[in-house]
């Protein structure tokens, strides 16, 4: 150890000086960041579009709209440089609203519904481009999205919805698509599958072989009519079939009404079969074959705008827990469901099974 007092004093003084300098630099950086945020806010507020968005968001926070009426989604400029505002909204994967009004999963049905509601209450939004890539899903879930699109158009009769199909737009996804004023399919799209399905399993014989006995206490003979440990009775099958037929007839009716086709024309096509794009076009189940740019051009044409359209998308503002829960990072939907004792989606579906 050194006995030189000057050396000790010098080291202690340097450390204190560095600490003071560090705090000074940190304070200056914080000041610059704060000033920059304020400056950007002032600049943004000078822009009419930004001022409107800020005012609407402020109104939402003050309670004029609930979070699920006018969701606080991030609005991102996506395509185009026109003055007519259009929003692109994806319909992807299994159509299910089980996750609720908020969702951690990107492009889920819940986010799609929130986006449609957001667009509906924004008077500047004149059109929605639906980007569909789904084999369908729940009957009620599909109908809720269909209904939300109808409400979007009812809020302003000049509004337009254009759908562009991806790999698949079948069953419940096609159900949603018929709400559009114009439907495009890619040359390689598979669509159709107009129908209803309900599936279950019967493991009665397997259970008997391995010594598993069913114990069910019920209030009536039909309370467990799809019990996998029991054979379904003819009268029970008839009950389910009546429900399926009713939901099927609704599907056929909506297709006929929205595609302006006779019911007698749609009914023979509604046996669950799928169609390639060129056949679907001949049958008038779609209006055109093309790509995203064709959908954008058609939207501008239907909106009768001379200077083109400006397309936005909505991004979910995720919390820290949401990010941990996203697929590939945190717990998957299936694992979270198992941990909470939930079962996978069951019941009646407008869904293409392949």
Report phi then psi at 281, rounded to 5. -65, -45
H helices of the chain, in order, are 5-46, 48-61, 109-120, 139-154, 172-177, 204-210, 234-258, 263-266, 277-282, 292-303, 320-325, 333-339
Res 223: pLDDT: 79
Give the span between the Cα atoms of 195 and 180, in whole angstroms: 19
Q: Which of 115, 171, 193, 325 is catalytic?
A: 171
Cβ count near 299 (within 10 Å): 27
Q: Is the pLDDT of residue 209 over 60?
A: yes
Q: Which of 52, 151, 223, 242 is catalytic?
A: 223
* 115 belongs to the catalytic site: no
95 in Cβ contact with 134 (< 8 Å):
yes
Predicted TM-score (pTM) of the model is 0.74
Q: Write the pLDDT tens digit of every residue in 325-334.
A: 554 444 444 4
Lowest mean pLDDT among 128-142, 226-240, 295-309: 226-240
State the span(s) of the chain assigned CATH 3.90.226.10.
72-351
128 in Cβ contact with 87 (< 8 Å):
yes
Res 316: pLDDT: 80
- Classify each residue of 258-275 as buried b or exposed e, where b means 16 or more C-beta atoms within 10 Å of its C-beta: bbebeeeebbebbebebb
Res 78: pLDDT: 92
Structural tokens at position 309: 């359209």
Domain 72-351 has CATH 3.90.226.10: yes
Look at the block and give the residue holding tokens 């000033």: 35
Q: Write the pLDDT tens digit of every residue in 147-170.
A: 999 999 999 999 999 999 999 999
Cα end-to-end span (Å), the chain: 79
Question: What mean pLDDT, rounded, does the chain reach?
Answer: 79
Res 148: pLDDT: 96
316 in Cβ contact with 106 (< 8 Å):
yes
Calculate what percentage of the chain has a pLDDT beyond 70. Answer: 69
47 Rama class: left (phi>0) / alpha (psi -120 to 50) / beta: beta
* 304 belongs to the catalytic site: no
Q: Write the pLDDT tens digit of every residue in 228-266.
A: 778 888 888 888 889 999 999 999 999 999 999 999 999
């Amino acid at each position: 150890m050194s006995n030189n007092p000057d050396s000790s004093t010098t080291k202690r003084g340097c450390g204190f000086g560095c600490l003071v300098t560090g705090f000074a630099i940190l304070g200056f950086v914080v000041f610059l960041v704060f000033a920059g945020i304020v400056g950007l806010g002032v600049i943004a507020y000078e822009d009419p579009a930004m001022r409107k968005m800020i005012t609407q968001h402020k109104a939402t926070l003050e309670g004029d709209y609930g979070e699920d009426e006018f969701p606080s989604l991030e609005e991102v400029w996506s395509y185009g440089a026109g003055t007519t505002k259009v929003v692109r909204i994806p319909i992807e994967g299994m159509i299910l609203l089980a996750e609720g009004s908020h969702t951690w999963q990107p492009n889920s049905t819940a986010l799609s519904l929130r986006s449609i509601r957001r667009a509906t209450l924004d008077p500047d939004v004149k059109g929605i481009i639906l980007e569909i890539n789904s084999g369908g899903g729940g009957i009620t879930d599909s109908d809720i999205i269909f209904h939300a699109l109808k409400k979007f158009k009812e809020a302003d009769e000049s509004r337009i919805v254009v759908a562009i199909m991806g790999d698949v737009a079948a069953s419940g996804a096609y159900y949603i698509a018929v709400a559009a004023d114009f439907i495009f399919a890619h040359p390689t799209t598979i669509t159709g599958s107009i129908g209803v399905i309900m599936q279950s399993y019967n493991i009665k014989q397997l259970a008997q072989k391995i010594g598993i006995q069913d114990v069910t206490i019920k209030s009536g003979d039909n309370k467990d009519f799809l019990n996998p440990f029991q054979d379904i009775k003819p009268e029970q099958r008839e009950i389910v079939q009546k429900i399926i037929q009713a939901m099927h007839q609704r599907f056929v009716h909506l297709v006929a009404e929205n595609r302006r086709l006779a019911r007698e024309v749609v009914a023979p096509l509604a046996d669950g079969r799928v169609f390639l794009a060129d056949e679907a076009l001949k049958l008038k189940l779609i209006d055109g074959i093309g790509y995203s740019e064709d959908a954008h051009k058609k939207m501008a044409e239907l909106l009768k705008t001379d200077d083109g359209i400006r397309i936005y998308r909505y991004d979910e503002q995720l919390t820290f827990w949401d990010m941990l829960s996203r697929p590939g990072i945190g717990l998957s939907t299936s694992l979270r469901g198992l941990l909470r004792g939930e079962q996978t989606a069951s019941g009646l579906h407008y869904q293409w099974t392949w």
